[in-house]
A and B are shown apart, each in its own frame.
Chain A
Amino acid sequence: MKRWQMIKLGLILAIYCIVGCVGLAFVYNSTSKTIAQRQEADLQAGLREVFPKATGFTPTDKVKSTNPKVIFNAAYTADGPSGPLGIAVKVQGPSYGGDTTLLVGVSSDGTITGVKVLENKDTPGLGANAANATYYVDKATKTTFAGQFAGKKLTDAFEVKKDVIAITSATITSRSITNLVQIVGKAVSDALGIGGSSQGTPPVVPPTDIVRPSSRPVTSSVSGVSILETLVTTRDGVIVSVSAKATAKSYDGDVTVIVGVSVDETITGVQIVSCTDGLGNLIMTPAFAQQFAGKKAGTPLEVGTNVDAVSGATFSSKGATALVEATADALVKALAGGGL
């Protein structure tokens, strides 16, 4: 008796499920086309907002994101009356309360034409003001947070509280969005071959005569640090500096850096290649990497004493700093050991 009761209940539940599913499938079928059209229209309207001068948009796959945490959902060439004007990218990347989605337009002359926040899940009333059309970071000129990027040159520093006005009490949101805009700007300028972007790689080794792979592999004595490749720079046959690309675990992802060290044991430059921590893309700002240049290799580098952390990404800053220190040490030892 009991078993039949179970089967009967199961069947009743199944019938409700089937009716529900059929109903959903029917409604989905009848509405999906209209919804897709509306979304397309919304996207076009958004694109027009970030690229007011364009007459049309064609999808392109020229722009690629180099950061695994930052996803370029779509990219469009903005067409003008006489040829393409630039590229607009729909970008998705981490912010305070989850991923945020932006539309960023970059013109071929290296200027941000506009930024629109499509989706932001940060704290309502604070970070969410990034998407608020009536929240002005500059009340006098009625400039919204995203609005301030319009007309900004890619050569600018893109530093919150310096050349970017932050949203009050939402510094992390401000930084994340600024960073995404900058990443898109760099990707577009790379794709279009626009020169003069200060966001380009800072020189890791001074421009000298010959750069070649090292004759023997360099290893670090610090556990967890793996040196991927080592390059040696020579002038007139004499080694002047070495650089190495190294990777290690960071807060909840990996961090990869390139470190250059000269024969006088000074760090010539550092580039943060990638950081897959939750908010790790924050440390990819050039200002963070630049502070290592000129420091003595072999001296302890410590966040808080002689290295400034990127706020909101203290753990990633520490991870990257430790890796820079370990790599620089390894390079100094390799230089002393000779045979490179």
Chain B
Amino acid sequence: MKRLFGVFVNGLIVENPLFIIMIGLCSSMAVTTTVANGIGMGVALTFVLVMSELIISLFRNLIPDSIRMPIFLIVIAAFTTIMDLEMKAYFPVLSKSMGVFIPLVVVNCIVMGRVEAFSSKQPVLDSVFDGFGMGLGYTWVLIALAVVRELLGNGTLLGFQIMPLSFSPMIFFILPPGGFLVFALWMAVSNNVRKKLLAGRKPEPTEDSCCTLPENGSTEKA
């Protein structure tokens, strides 16, 4: 149980997909102009990630190593499309708020990255926990970005006016340059916390080379 918890917590800060592994950055810039979008994208990605890792982990012994990437793609894309269709048919309200994010999630590198690096080699339960951890790690970053960008760039939070009406919104924060600035600031905060967390703790020896991370992120890139 403790091991599973460790896998889960790993994705939040120590191996955060956005701040440490640095994959899936493009979607994080694009959707974080409002908090509602950030939450929607985060939840959609977490769901797809957990399910993809679960399925790939189940099939991991049936997937030949040399053609694993196309198979991951087929499985993830088919599964996501099926979910999209089911949602459209039976949960229209959910589909309306999440539907726009589904096509973004299918090709998201975090899904491919975690499936490749983790669940294709790890047992099912670990994979599910990794999916939750990574998904949550992604979601909190999106929300953190979106809170700053929406508040300063639009004067609202979740669509409600927070700043006084005399406040002139700083459009800069809604536009990509502001997004990068906020991203960098949050990254500095997160890395500072990470350093404190890791201080005094010896890097755990892991069986898999993929999971030991150098100080500045792994070789995978978005």
Contact pick for B67, options A12, A30, A126, A168, CB 8 Å: A12
- Whole-angstrom distance from the CB of B75 to the nearest CB of chain A? 7
In the complex, whether B184 has a CB less than 8 A from a CB of chain A is no
Contact pick for B153, options A20, A24, A30, A125, CB 8 Å: A125
Specify which of B31, B64, B89, B165 lies most central, judged by the most chain A CB atoms within 10 Å of its CB: B89
Q: A35–B82 contact, CB under 8 A?
A: no
- Whole-angstrom distance from the CB of B14 to the nearest CB of chain A? 31
In the complex, whether A4 has a CB less than 8 A from a CB of chain B is no
Return chain B residues, CB-CB under 8 Å to A12.
64, 67, 71
Return chain A residues, CB-CB under 8 Å to B165.
139
- Whole-angstrom distance from the CB of B201 to the nearest CB of chain A? 40
Return chain A residues, CB-CB under 8 Å to B33.
123-125
Q: A16–B64 contact, CB under 8 A?
A: no
Q: B171–A13 contact, CB under 8 A?
A: no
Return chain A residues, CB-CB under 8 Å to B64.
9, 12
- Whole-angstrom distance from the CB of A155 to the nearest CB of chain B? 35
Return chain A residues, CB-CB under 8 Å to B159.
134
Contact with A along B164-207 (1 / 0, CB 8 A): 01000101001100000000000000000000000000000000
Contact pick for B89, options A9, A24, A31, A125, CB 8 Å: A31
Q: B89–A34 contact, CB under 8 A?
A: yes
In the complex, whether B28 has a CB less than 8 A from a CB of chain A is no
A38 with B71, Cβ < 8 A, contacts A9-B64, A124-B34, A126-B171 known: no
In the complex, whether B139 has a CB less than 8 A from a CB of chain A is no
Q: How large is the interface on B (under 10, 10 to 19, 20 to 34, 35 or more residues)?
A: 20 to 34
> In this complex, what residue of B is CB-closest to A26?
B82
A123 with B82, Cβ < 8 A, contacts A16-B71, A16-B74, A20-B74 known: no
In the complex, whether A23 has a CB less than 8 A from a CB of chain B is yes
Return chain B residues, CB-CB under 8 Å to A17.
74
- Whole-angstrom distance from the CB of A267 to the nearest CB of chain B? 40
Q: How large is the interface on A (under 10, 10 to 19, 20 to 34, 35 or more residues)?
A: 20 to 34
> In this complex, what residue of B is CB-closest to A38?
B92
Return chain B residues, CB-CB under 8 Å to A16.
71, 74-75
Q: How far is the CA of A236 from the CA of B77 in the complex (A)?
A: 74
Contact with A along B115-157 (1 / 0, CB 8 A): 0000000000000000000000000000000000110011000
Q: B88–A35 contact, CB under 8 A?
A: yes
Contact pick for B150, options A35, A125, A168, CB 8 Å: A125
> In this complex, what residue of A is CB-closest to B165?
A139
Return chain B residues, CB-CB under 8 Å to A35.
85, 88-89
Q: A31–B88 contact, CB under 8 A?
A: yes
In the complex, whether B220 has a CB less than 8 A from a CB of chain A is no
A124 with B88, Cβ < 8 A, contacts A9-B64, A17-B74, A23-B78 known: no
Chain A positions 1-36 with a Cβ under 8 Å from a chain B Cβ: 9, 12-13, 16-17, 20-21, 23-24, 27-28, 30-31, 34-35
Q: How far is the CA of A286 from the CA of B10 in the complex (A)?
A: 61
- Whole-angstrom distance from the CB of B214 to the nearest CB of chain A? 33
Contact pick for A31, options B30, B85, B171, CB 8 Å: B85
Contact pick for B81, options A24, A125, A134, CB 8 Å: A24
> In this complex, what residue of A is CB-closest to B159?
A134
Q: A9–B86 contact, CB under 8 A?
A: no
Return chain A residues, CB-CB under 8 Å to B171.
126, 169
Return chain A residues, CB-CB under 8 Å to B70.
13
Q: How far is the CA of A168 from the CA of B170 in the complex (A)?
A: 12
- Whole-angstrom distance from the CB of A22 to the nearest CB of chain B? 10
A9 with B67, Cβ < 8 A, contacts A17-B74, A124-B33, A125-B174 known: yes
- Whole-angstrom distance from the CB of A170 to the nearest CB of chain B? 10
Q: How far is the CA of A123 from the CA of B174 in the complex (A)?
A: 9
Contact with A along B66-98 (1 / 0, CB 8 A): 110011001101100110011011101000000
> In this complex, what residue of B is CB-closest to A124?
B33
Q: How far is the CA of A30 from the CA of B82 in the complex (A)?
A: 11
Return chain A residues, CB-CB under 8 Å to B67.
9, 12-13
In the complex, whether B46 has a CB less than 8 A from a CB of chain A is no
Q: How far is the CA of A126 from the CA of B74 in the complex (A)?
A: 36
In the complex, whether B37 has a CB less than 8 A from a CB of chain A is yes
Mind listing 18 A-B residue pairs with CB under 8 Å? A9-B64, A9-B66, A13-B67, A13-B70, A16-B75, A20-B77, A24-B78, A24-B81, A24-B82, A31-B86, A34-B90, A35-B85, A35-B89, A124-B34, A125-B149, A125-B153, A139-B165, A169-B171
Which residues on A are within 8 Å of B, measured CB to CB?
9, 12-13, 16-17, 20-21, 23-24, 27-28, 30-31, 34-35, 38, 123-126, 134, 139, 168-169
Beyond A16-B75, A34-B89, A126-B171, 16 additional pairs, beta carbon < 8 A? A9-B66, A12-B64, A12-B71, A13-B70, A13-B74, A23-B78, A31-B85, A31-B88, A31-B90, A35-B85, A123-B33, A123-B175, A124-B31, A124-B37, A125-B149, A169-B171
The 7 closest A-B pairs by CB, nearest first: A31-B89, A20-B78, A125-B33, A125-B174, A34-B89, A124-B33, A31-B85
